[in-house]
Amino acid sequence: MISLSSNYPVLAEQQTDFKSIIERHYSTYNQWLNVKPADGTPEDRKAAAAWLSGKGPVISEERISIVTSGHQAIMVTMIAAGLQGSTIAVDEYTYSNFISIARWMNIEVIACPGDEKGMLPAALAAASAKHNIKAVYVMGTISNPTGIVMPHERRLELIEVARKNGQIIIDDDAYGFLEENPPANFAQLAPDLGWFIYSLSKPFAPDIKVAYIVAPEQYKERITVAIKLTTSNPSTFFTALVSEVITNGELADLLRRKRAEGKKRQEQTKAFLSGFDVQGHENGFHCWLTLPAGFTSVQLYHDLREKGVEVMAGAFFAAPGANGEYIRIAMGAEADMNRVLAGLEIVKQTISR
């Protein structure tokens, strides 16, 4: 099976890189025997604060909590913000597992239309007038699945609507590392209502179980309780490892190489699918293809699997009420780009009939 569905971009040379990093990190084994604070050590939160602040407004380490994954970060955020059983506004097409998590937590999601800049503030305002929306969930920098980067001005407009309606904004940054100059995130622009989630599984590696939550200060105690109830505390081995590669510059170097590889793969994919409606971030490892008339994403998903290619059906990302037929094509799971191109050829032949 050619995988054009899983989207964890791993470089061919990373195995060699990791061998050196892990062998060096074994020297910290004495730290693994001690129970650490539920939200991470001050040293690790300090490293995270420097990393997440980037070139934008400074994020205080007091606002940071460390968890084991992006999914746990989403669930801790929901619990700490008291969103169980409430209503959250999302893009018409959004992260499929966020929809699943919301469903498990008895949360209703309301689709808000957008444009090439992301969610429309007027759509959020209209939805807020009709529904008791408590939070807004976005992927501000390189949305999954559309690849959109929300510009600074649009972020400020959404903040204005959210503040007027007493809402929080959850900014999930799974793919933002592929944007060389990302706008300031919502936690930086609106510390009173903005949350920011940053997982290392895609920037670094799938099995590096570290994620950061940046939240308004008033939620700190509730976040700590939620972490204690879900994992006790983050992994010392992984959090210290991540802090080290942040501090010595190895993570920044890895991300530069991933952006370069993503750019090549995105260009090759768009060139190969020339003539079809395909959008994706210039450095992204996934793209969003609008299906020709007569195709449905779910049926195409099954047809392609029978032919040995797995993609993600657009229906998996659709919030209730979303219209359109799409598939998401990911180019990061296959180390050999020739296998990606072979899969794309099967996709192209199937939708060209």
DSSP string, 131-184: S-EEEEEE--BS-TTT--B--HHHHHHHHHHHHHTT-EEEEE-SSGGGSSSPPP
Residue 259 has pLDDT above 70, yes or no: yes
Radius of gyration of the chain (CA): 20
| Predicted TM-score (pTM) of this structure | 0.96
How many residues belong to the chain?
353
The DSSP bridge partners found for residue 330 are 286
- Whether 329 and 289 have beta carbons less than 8 Å apart is answered as yes
DSSP-derived letter for residue 313 is E
Residue 245 has pLDDT above 80, yes or no: yes
How many Cβ atoms are within 10 Å of 90's Cβ, its own excluded? 25
Instruction: Tell me the C-alpha distance between 128 and 125, whole Å.
Output: 5
Q: Are strands 64-67 and 211-214 parallel, antiparallel or unpaired?
A: antiparallel
Instruction: Tell me the C-alpha distance between 119 and 114, whole Å.
Output: 4
% of the chain with per-residue pLDDT over 90:
85
- Whether 2 and 310 have beta carbons less than 8 Å apart is answered as yes
Instruction: Tell me the C-alpha distance between 94 and 80, whole Å.
Output: 22
Please tell me the predicted confidence (pLDDT) of residue 29: 67
Give buried/exposed letters for 135-167 (b at 16+ CB in 10 A, else e). bbbbbbbbbbbbbbbbeeebbebbbebbeebeb
Q: State pLDDT tens for residues 81-136.
A: 999 999 999 999 999 999 999 999 999 999 999 999 999 999 999 999 999 999 99
Q: Which among 344, 340, 338, 343 has a CA at the least distance from the CA of 272?
A: 344
Residue 315 has pLDDT above 90, yes or no: yes
Q: 51 or 7, which is more confident?
A: 51
Tokens, residue 236: 């010392």
Q: State pLDDT tens for residues 229-244.
A: 998 888 888 999 999 9
